[in-house]
């Protein structure tokens, strides 16, 4: 029996037999082409077949999972037909390369570019292009693609990476769990596994390497654990845990339609975080009361040029309409740091997290920012949209944005375009500077939302993506806890709403402290909404205060963490 760990990307426990699935290795011979026109025709036919086959796979996913997930595959068609890619391929063919080599080398260039960006969404783009490349080469070389629709019952699918096209072939009756070498929580394979409700552990290379076909394996998608060749006792233990998980899930569905309130009846708001308008529907399906963070940079990352005012207007309008009366807090472009957008032409910096990014960039780029603010104002005529500014460090930034809005509003007035004249403008409190000056900011802002992901990074001076210093990256540090408490106090003093949209808002260990500090709004990922509602319902203000006082009397992260874990209610 051997135990390994990876990233728990889709909850639940699966016990089954490993089936190692390998991507067909497509090999081809490099040839010099003397008739490029004919070669381009061959390539175009391959593209057409790719489109046809992908559309078929998308339909199969649409039936098995849903429309949103099918969009991932339809996105592959968009990638393949993106002129940025096809123009380069054609150029290479015209220079005498065969279609296979041209596809291979252009795709590899794009893969290398996206894979070098330390952002999961961008790395996902690299996986997508790699998937497109493999399938195009399979077509060009007449190679059969991996077919996983015929796997035996009780299978744990083991692969280097689970590509969306592979996922299309999964038969949920037979595939109980998924285990891969690469991929993160927001990779497409993770999204699809969650949508199919198949437990999945990703990024567990040692476990994948240690497995052979047919070996019994346990996948714990909650904890991110993999057990290979378990003894009988362990199998029994995990069967019990599996039952408990299924029960707990049923239990959580009871929280749909309930108010979000503490054990002693204090109501708070429970919102969801989204990256595109489609996800607003998911938030609604988990009974989220609104959206506490719409990360608009994903609209910018999905395309090879900035989305137009019209495109953004449609996206923001669709999000607020999906919430059916609920508020939608839309964060203006938070570019830079770990979120690169190649076409914006940002230069490489020594310290990207401390550099020209987010509101600093936007205030210098009227072309980008005015377009976004106008789209936001226009969409505000269709529902309760609020504007949120990221990475604020001083009140000047907030005032500058408000000034811009003032000018844009009069522009819209003169054009006779409707918008919400009282649209709220809030700030994300995610830097120590914003925390220390929260009393000043609260006088000018309509609301706060605490971004604990960055607040922890900047407060502890620890890069949130650097594994070597990850031991310092914890919200349980007294400096971070005191900051959170102070920010909420400053908001209360000025009578403005204080929310939290960082990951900490869904942390069961931290929720009692947030209740005690008086947080008004919790914004969490869609799948955490019901669990968060449940945890909030388990704490009275008095109990939460008692725990918070104890926690704040301690000094070491390890002590605070142990106290919070020991007292966690589930
Ligand atoms: C945060 O910093 O807490 C946050 C919610 O924003 P992001 O994770 O997008 O930086
Ligand atoms: Mg942030």
433-488 per-position pLDDT tens digit: 999 999 999 999 999 999 999 999 999 999 877 778 889 999 999 999 999 999 99
Is residue 98 annotated as part of the catalytic site, yes or no?
no
- Give me the pLDDT at residue 186, please: 58
The closest residue, in CA terms, to atom 4 on ligand 1 is 451
Name the active-site residue from 76, 98, 107, 188.
Answer: 188
CA 24 to chain centre: 29
| Cα(93) to centroid(ligand 2), Å | 44
β strands within 421-482, DSSP E = 425-429, 447-450
User: Ligand nearest 504 Cα, by number?
Assistant: 1
Position 145 scores a pLDDT of 59
Q: Give the residue with greater pLDDT, 191 vs 335.
A: 335
pLDDT (0 to 100) of residue 144 = 59
Ligand 1 within 6 A of 475 CB? no
Distance between CA atoms of residues 92 and 109, nearest Å: 13
- The listed range with the strongest mean pLDDT (79-83, 131-135, 274-278, 375-379) is 375-379
* Overall size of the chain counted in residues: 570
- For residue 457, how far is its CA from the centre of ligand 1 (angstroms)? 10
Residues paired with 17 in a beta bridge: 155, 216
Cβ neighbours of 256 (radius 10 Å): 12
Q: Which atom of ligand 1 is nearest to the CA of 297?
A: 9
Average pLDDT, the chain: 92
Summarised one tens digit per residue, pLDDT across range 507-518 is 999 999 999 999
Once rounded to an integer, what is the mean pLDDT over residues 554-567? 98
Three-state DSSP class for residue 294: strand
pTM of the complete model: 0.72
452 lines ligand 1 (CB under 6 A): yes
Q: Are 547 and 515 in contact (CB under 8 A)?
A: no
Tokens of 10: 């889709």
Q: Is 332 in the pocket of ligand 1 (CB under 6 A)?
A: no
- pLDDT, one tens digit per residue, over 156-191 is 999 988 776 677 678 888 999 999 998 776 566 777
Ligand 1 centroid to Cα of residue 451, in Å, is 5
pLDDT value at residue 24: 66
Which atom belonging to ligand 1 lies closest to the Cα atom of 295? 9
Binding site membership of 297 for ligand 1 (Cβ less than 6 Å): no
Residue 564, token pair as written in the block: 């919070």
453 lines ligand 1 (CB under 6 A): yes
- Relative to the alpha carbon of 359, which ligand is closest? 2
Distance in angstroms (rounded) separating the CA atoms of residues 178 and 158: 6
Residue 260 has pLDDT above 90, yes or no: yes
Write down the pLDDT at residue 407.
98
The beta-carbon contacts of 123-130 under 8 Å, at least 24 apart in sequence, are: 123/184, 123/187, 124/186, 124/187, 124/188, 125/301, 127/161, 127/163, 127/182, 127/183, 127/187, 127/188, 127/189, 128/72, 128/75, 128/76, 128/79, 128/164, 128/188, 129/79, 129/85, 130/163
Confidence of residue 67 (pLDDT cuts 50, 70, 90): confident
Rg (CA), the chain: 25
How far does residue 457's CA lie from ligand 2's centre (Å)? 9
Q: Are 134 and 26 in contact (CB under 8 A)?
A: yes
d(CA 181, CA 6): 9
Residue-level pLDDT at 172: 83
pLDDT(143) > 80: no
Cα 473 from Cα 461, distance rounded (Å): 9
Strands (E) located in 363-453: 385-389, 425-429, 447-450
Q: Are strands 447-450 and 425-429 parallel, antiparallel or unpaired?
A: parallel
> Ligand 1 within 6 A of 383 CB?
no
Q: Please state whether 56 falls in left (phi above 0), alpha (psi between -120 and 50) or beta.
A: alpha
**CA pair distance 403, 359, nearest whole angstrom:** 14
Average pLDDT over every residue of 74-93: 90
Chain-centre distance for alpha carbon 394 = 28
Rounded CA separation 518/68 (Å): 36
279 confidence band (pLDDT: 50, 70, 90): confident
Q: Is 449 in the pocket of ligand 1 (CB under 6 A)?
A: no
Clarify whether 188 is annotated catalytic: yes
Residue 178: phi and psi, rounded to 5, are -130, 140
């Amino acid at each position: 029996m051997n135990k390994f760990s990876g990233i728990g990307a889709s909850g639940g426990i699966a016990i089954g037999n490993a089936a190692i699935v390998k991507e067909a290795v497509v090999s081809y011979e490099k040839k010099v082409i003397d008739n490029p026109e004919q070669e381009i025709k061959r390539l175009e036919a391959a593209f057409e077949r790719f489109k046809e086959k992908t559309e078929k796979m998308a339909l199969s996913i649409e039936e098995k999972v849903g429309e949103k997930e099918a969009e991932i595959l339809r996105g592959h068609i968009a990638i393949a037909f993106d002129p940025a890619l096809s123009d380069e391929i054609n150029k290479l063919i015209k220079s005498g390369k065969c279609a296979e080599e041209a596809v291979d080398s252009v795709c590899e260039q794009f893969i290398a570019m996206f894979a070098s960006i330390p952002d999961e969404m961008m790395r996902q783009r690299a996986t997508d292009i790699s998937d497109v490349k493999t399938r195009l080469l399979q077509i060009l070389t007449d190679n059969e693609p991996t077919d996983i629709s015929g796997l035996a019952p009780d299978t744990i699918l083991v692969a280097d990476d689970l590509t969306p096209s592979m996922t299309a072939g999964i038969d949920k009756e037979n595939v109980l769990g998924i285990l891969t070498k690469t991929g993160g929580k927001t990779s497409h394979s993770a999204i699809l596994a969650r949508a199919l409700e198949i437990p999945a552990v990703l990024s567990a290379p040692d476990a994948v390497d240690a497995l052979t076909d047919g070996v019994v394996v346990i996948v714990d998608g909650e904890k991110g654990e993999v057990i290979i060749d378990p003894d009988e006792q362990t199998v029994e233990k995990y069967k019990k845990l599996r039952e408990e998980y299924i029960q707990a899930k049923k239990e959580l569905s009871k929280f749909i339609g309930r108010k979000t309130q503490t054990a002693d009846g204090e109501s708070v708001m429970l919102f969801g975080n989204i990256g595109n308008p489609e996800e607003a529907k998911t938030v609604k399906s988990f009974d989220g009361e609104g959206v506490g963070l719409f990360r608009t940079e994903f609209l910018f990352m999905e395309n090879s040029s900035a989305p137009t005012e019209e495109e953004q207007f449609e996206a923001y309008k669709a999000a607020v309409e999906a919430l059916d009366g609920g508020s939608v807090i839309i964060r203006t472009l938070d570019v830079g740091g770990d979120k690169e957008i190649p076409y914006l032409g940002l230069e490489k910096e020594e310290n990207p997290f401390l550099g020209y990014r987010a509101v600093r960039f936007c205030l210098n780029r009227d072309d980008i920012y005015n377009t976004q603010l106008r789209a936001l104002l226009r969409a505000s005529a269709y529902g309760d949209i609020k504007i949120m500014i990221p990475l604020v460090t001083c009140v000047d930034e907030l005032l500058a944005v408000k000034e811009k809005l003032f000018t844009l509003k009069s522009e819209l007035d003169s054009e006779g375009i409707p918008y919400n004249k009282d649209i709220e403008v809030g700030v994300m409190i995610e830097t120590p500077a914003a925390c220390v000056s929260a009393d000043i900011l609260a006088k000018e802002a309509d609301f706060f939302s605490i971004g604990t992901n960055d607040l922890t990074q900047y407060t502890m001076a620890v890069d949130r993506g650097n594994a070597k210093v990850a031991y310092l990256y914890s919200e349980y540090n007294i400096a971070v806890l005191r900051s959170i408490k102070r920010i909420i106090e400053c908001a209360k003093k000025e009578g403005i709403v204080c929310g939290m949209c960082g990951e900490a808002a869904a942390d069961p260990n931290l929720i009692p402290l947030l209740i005690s500090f008086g947080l008004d709004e919790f914004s969490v990922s869609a799948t955490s909404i019901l669990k968060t509602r449940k945890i909030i319902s388990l704490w009275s203000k008095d109990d939460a205060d008692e725990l918070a006082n104890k926690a704040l009397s301690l000094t070491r992260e390890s002590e605070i963490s142990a106290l919070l874990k020991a007292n966690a209610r589930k």
